[in-house]
Amino acid sequence: MKTIALVSTVGGAGKTTVTAALAVLLARRGRPVAAADLDPQNMLGAHLGLDTFARAGLGHAMAGQGEPWHGNTWRNADGVLFAPHGETTLAERTAYEARLAQEPHWLVDALARIDFPARGVALLDTARFPSQQAAQAVRAADLVLCVTPPDPAGCATLARCFPSLRETGALVKVVVNRLNPARDMQRDALVLLRAAVGDALELAHRVHFDAAMPESLARGEWLFDEAPHSQASHDLHGLANWIDAWLDGTLDVGMAVDSEHTR
Ligand X SMILES: Nc1ncnc2c1ncn2[C@@H]1O[C@H](COP(=O)(O)OP(=O)(O)OP(=O)(O)O)[C@@H](O)[C@H]1O
Chain residues binding Mg ion by CB under 5 A are 15-16
Write the binding mask 171 to 190 for ligand X: x where contact by CB under 6 A, - elsewhere: ------xx------------
Q: Which position among 25, 100, 172, 217 is part of the footprint of ligand X (CB under 6 A)?
A: 217
Residues 82-111, one symbol each (x = binds ligand X by CB under 6 A, - = not), give ------------------------------
Question: Distance from CA of residue 15 to its chain's centroid?
Answer: 6
Nearer to ligand X, 187 or 219 (CB): 219
Minimum Å gap between C-beta 3 and ligand X is 18
Residues 220-239, mask of contacts with ligand X (x by CB under 6 A): ------------x-------
Q: Shortest Cβ contact with Mg ion: which residue?
A: 16
Neighbours of 107 (CB within 10 A): 29
Q: Are 135 and 173 in contact (CB under 8 A)?
A: no
CA–CA dist 57, 55 (Å, integer): 7
Give the residue, chosen from 213, 227, 239, 243, that forms a contact with ligand X under the rule CB under 6 A. 213
Question: Which does residue 210 touch among ligand X, Mg ion, none (CB within 5 to 8 A, set by kind)?
Answer: ligand X
Site membership for ligand X, residue 8 (CB under 6 A): yes
Contacting residues for 96 by C-beta, under 8 A, at least 6 apart? 59, 62, 63, 64, 88, 132
- CB under 5 to 8 A by kind: which of Mg ion, ligand X, none does 228 bind? none
Exactly one of 34, 176, 201, 207 binds ligand X (CB under 6 A); that residue is 207
DSSP H helices, 106-230, are 106-112, 132-140, 152-165, 184-197, 212-218, 223-226
Q: What angle do CA 221, 125, 237 make, to 5 degrees?
A: 50
206 touching ligand X, by CB under 6 A: no
Nearer CB in complex with ligand X: 92/235 = 235
205 binds ligand X (CB under 6 A): no
Among 54-62, 185-193, 208-216, 249-257, which window interacts with ligand X (CB under 6 A)? 208-216
The least CB distance from residue 177 to ligand X, in Å, is: 5
What's the distance, CA 163 to chain centroid?
19
d(CA 119, CA 112): 14
Interacting residues with ligand X between 102 and 161 (CB under 6 A): 128
Half-sphere exposure of 176 (CA within 13 A, CB side): 25
Q: Report how far residue 57's alpha carbon sits from residue 136's, in angstroms, rounded to the nearest whole number.
A: 17
Cβ atoms of 92 and 59 within 8 Å: the answer is yes
175 φ, ψ (degrees, to nearest 5) = -110, 110
Applying CB under 6 A, which residues contact ligand X? Answer: 8, 11-17, 39, 41, 43, 128, 177-178, 207, 209-210, 213-214, 217, 232
